[in-house]
Amino acid sequence: LCSLTLFFSCVGIYIAGCSASDGENMIGVDTEEGWYADFKNHRGVIVLPKFADPISFPGFYELSVAQQEICKGNLAVFDRDSKNPPVKLDAPHSTIYTKDEVELDVENRLICHVSGFFPAPVSVYWTRNEQNVTEGTSINTPYPSKDGTFTQISTLKFTPQQGDIYSCTVQHPALEQPLTRQTEAKANLLPGIGPAVFCGLGLTVGLLGVATGTFFLIKGNECS
């Protein structure tokens, strides 16, 4: 008798944190953001792909507001008792790439991936031909990494025209000057590092599946 058992698991995460002037409450699964508290607009925001089943988090925004008050009170006591200890700063790294292969006059999305920074958050600004762009931009809430630093992703919807130059500029207290990455709109420009990583991962998993299937085929013959 031969059997094959597969185990799948995911990691849920809940983050509640604050500084003297800012705060964050977020729920996520693995490395994906699922819900966060938007304190500026006084509401909770669900961040799920279109194909996902609807889900709600009743009472979570009110809970987040209460937790922020407690957090800032505890922070004030800590700062007073420890005489405002210096904060360890980690500077961010950034990469800019497109979501899809570039076709002129076809709407696409630019992605500015910012990682390795502490504390959170970063500020990200977009330009087109050295002119500031705000329409069509978005940025997610900071997401923690295993090493204690954070990651944020900012996106820009754009319709590429030949020769247009886009840039994302990152500002953070650990940087002596803003960190800027540029890309030029060209026909047939391939998607960047993000899709390439997924493609490589898919190939690796595919090869692993072939090897695993061969192994169990051999073991099955031995069992019979």
Please give the model's pTM, rounded to 2 decimal places. 0.65
Q: Supply the Cα-derived Rg of the chain in whole angstroms.
A: 22
Rounded to whole angstroms, how far apart are CA atoms 44 and 58? 9
Tokens, residue 14: 């809940």
Per-residue pLDDT 10s for the chain (224 aa) are: 343 444 445 677 888 888 888 888 988 877 678 888 999 889 998 887 666 777 778 899 999 999 999 999 998 888 888 877 778 899 999 999 999 999 999 999 999 999 999 999 999 999 999 999 999 999 988 888 889 899 999 999 999 999 999 999 999 999 999 999 999 988 765 555 444 443 343 433 343 343 334 333 333 444 44
Task: Kindly list the domain boundaries of the chain, sorted by start residue.
Answer: 12-82, 93-191
CB 185 within 8 A of CB 129: no
- Residues whose CB falls within 8 Å of the CB of residue 114, separated by 6 or more in sequence, listed in order: 92, 93, 94, 122, 124, 151, 152, 153, 154, 170
- CATH number listed for the domain at residues 12-82: 3.10.320
Q: Exposed/middle/buried for 98, CB within 10 Å: 0-12, 13-18, 19+?
A: buried
Can you identify the CATH homologous superfamily of domain 93-191?
A: Immunoglobulins (2.60.40.10)
How far from 84 is each of 16, 104, 207, CA to CA, in Å?
Answer: 21, 53, 53
What backbone torsions phi and psi does residue 107 show, to the nearest 5 degrees? -60, 140
CA terminus-to-terminus distance, the chain: 8
Rounded to whole angstroms, how far apart are CA atoms 44 and 120? 20
